[in-house]
Amino acid sequence: MQWLAQQLQQLEAKGLRRQIRPLSSGGPYVEREGRRLLNLASNDYLGLSTDPRLTAAAREALARWGIGAGAARLVVGDRPVHDALEVALAALKETEAALVFPSGYAANVGVLSALAGPRDQIFADALNHASLNDGARLSRARFRYYRHRDLEQLEHLLRGPGPGRGGRRFIVTDAIFSMDGTIAPLAELAELAERYEALLIVDDAHGTGVVGPEGRGTAHHLGVAGRIPVQVATLSKALGVQGGAALGTRLLIDYLVHRARAFIYSTGLAPVLAAAALEAVRLVQSGEGARRRQRQQAHVARLKAGLEARGYTVRHEAPAPMLAVLVGSPAAALQLSAHLEAHGVLAPAIRPPTVPPGTSRIRLAPMAIHTDDDIEAALAAFPEADQLKRHAA
């Protein structure tokens, strides 16, 4: 298996080798090798993963049902808390029904491979999450990318030859592109889907809980929720837990129960996680949830303004809960990440293949439970952009 070592050496030479570095704690501040670091790398946007109310809900479920579900939900792995969570998620998203999967990745793979088939066509934004792309490939449909948010190119593709006999068209997009902080043009995509009789599938992993009225998500923020027939959400970002969900009509969910292999052949979500997620859904719709969303957005805006003042190129569109600091090469991103960690800020370098070549970056995602002083400390840790470029040269 020497070829494995050669592949890893090639990644090392390109600055693309990765390593898993454990943390001894979680939340807004973490510990690594005895050092306390400000955590700006998490998707825990509202700070719910360490909230004592979620912990209490999980503890109660643990005492009642134990740790694992024990089997797939269609066998003996279903518990009342799963149904309660699906009802709550459907109410949050204002859909008829929901179906919970063990992860957001499983939800995307399960939905796309169940709905699309070899006779179909899938048109996908070039910056979609890998789980959407993998689901599309598993479906064996004809898979076409369009340039990021390029509606003109998408329409050109839709005007091309139609699918085979009995085939369907699908438009697939993230709602918020998590490595760029950009928002999908959902209204325009819905209009194209309606015009060309395509089914629009939207993954709102990074909007659910933290964007829109009562945390309902990006589609509600843009006023187009009723025009999106298939949504996917995760429980592992703003909700602070783990898992994924498909949302739509009862007809859709009933079909997925029968056809989504990632649901059928996976052990059900652990009841303790379902209980914690149920409590998180309640919290994001409360007054406290609204206050946390406002605070998180204020932190993002302050970081963007401060970094642009230091000469950085920052990619972000409100109300995305993250921003990207573009630096170019993997080496430059690694250098900046190491500098930040040395100054007390955890913000790993994001490199290909996660992002396109030449666009390596630092991704920042502040939590609602960070303080204003935390944000100022993070800004102070960044060198001036010109200084970073001189060191890189």
**Across 74-98, average pLDDT:** 98
Measured distance CA(374)–CA(378) in Å, rounded? 6
DSSP assignments along 298-338, one per residue: HHHHHHHHHHHHTT-EEE--TT-S-EEEEEESHHHHHHHHH
CA angle 140, 234, 50 (to 5 degrees): 150
Match 């999980």 to its residue by tokens: 58
Three-class DSSP category at 5: helix
What are the b/e assignments for 313-350, b being 16+ CB within 10 Å?
ebbbeebbbbbbbbbebbebbbbbbebbbeeebbbbbb
**Across 207-232, average pLDDT:** 98
What are the b/e assignments for 4-24, b being 16+ CB within 10 Å?
eeeeeeeeeeebbeeeeeeee
Intervals of CATH 3.40.640.10 along the chain: 52-284
Confidence of residue 390 (pLDDT cuts 50, 70, 90): low
Tell me: domain 21-43+286-392, CATH 3.40.50.720, correct?
A: no
Structure tokens at 339: 């500098």
Q: What per-residue confidence (pLDDT) applies to 367?
A: 98
Measured distance CA(129)–CA(89) in Å, rounded? 22
pLDDT over 70 (residue 393): no
CATH architecture of 52-284: 3-Layer(aba) Sandwich (3.40)
Query: What would the pLDDT profile of 5-16 be if each residue is shown by its tens digit?
Result: 999 999 999 888
- Return the bridge partners of 101, or none: 244
Measured distance CA(165)–CA(93) in Å, rounded? 34
Intervals of CATH 3.90.1150.10 along the chain: 21-43+286-392
Percent of the chain scoring above 70 in pLDDT:
99
**Average pLDDT across the chain, whole number:** 95
Closest CA to 291 of 210, 235, 373, 236: 210
Query: What would the pLDDT profile of 150-161 be if each residue is shown by its tens digit?
Result: 999 999 999 988
Which backbone phi and psi does 97 adopt, to 5 degrees?
-160, 170
Please state the length of the chain: 393
Query: What would the pLDDT profile of 311-341 be if each residue is shown by its tens digit?
Result: 999 999 999 999 999 999 999 999 999 999 9
Three-class DSSP category at 346: strand
Q: What per-residue confidence (pLDDT) applies to 391?
A: 63
Q: What per-residue confidence (pLDDT) applies to 392?
A: 60
Asked whether 253 and 98 are in contact (CB, 8 A), the reply is yes
Which backbone phi and psi does 117 adopt, to 5 degrees?
-145, -175
Closest CA to 268 of 242, 237, 304, 307: 242
Q: What per-residue confidence (pLDDT) applies to 16?
A: 87
Asked whether 110 and 262 are in contact (CB, 8 A), the reply is yes
Asked whether 143 and 117 are in contact (CB, 8 A), the reply is no
Confidence of residue 163 (pLDDT cuts 50, 70, 90): confident
